[in-house]
Amino acid sequence: MKKKDKLYRVVTFLDREELDFVDGLVKDIYFEYGIKIPRAKLLEEIVEALKHRGSKNKESIEQELVRMFIEKGE
């Protein structure tokens, strides 16, 4: 039997526009593929996709996120 990874609860605060974006993705997946995905699972999969998005290491992911924050003006 495969050992399960320990999961942690994460609380996120999204503004209306961000929440609408996430909800839109959830609805698109449901209507396109017939798969119902909770918001939390979608966010988990986004993190996994970011980890495997051609980034070879943690530092390159951090650099990409910092670049995104700088461009957004955060």
Res 60: pLDDT: 75
Res 1: pLDDT: 44
Tokens 């997946």 sit at which residue? 29
Domain ranges in the chain are 16-72
Rounded to whole angstroms, the Cα distance separating 24 from 42 reads: 11
Res 50: pLDDT: 76
Tokens 């999969």 sit at which residue? 45
The per-residue pLDDT string of the chain (74 residues; one tens digit each, 9 = 90 and over) reads 456 778 888 888 999 999 999 999 999 999 999 989 999 988 888 887 777 776 667 777 777 777 777 777 75
Q: Reduced to 3 states, what is the DSSP secondary structure of residue 43? A: helix
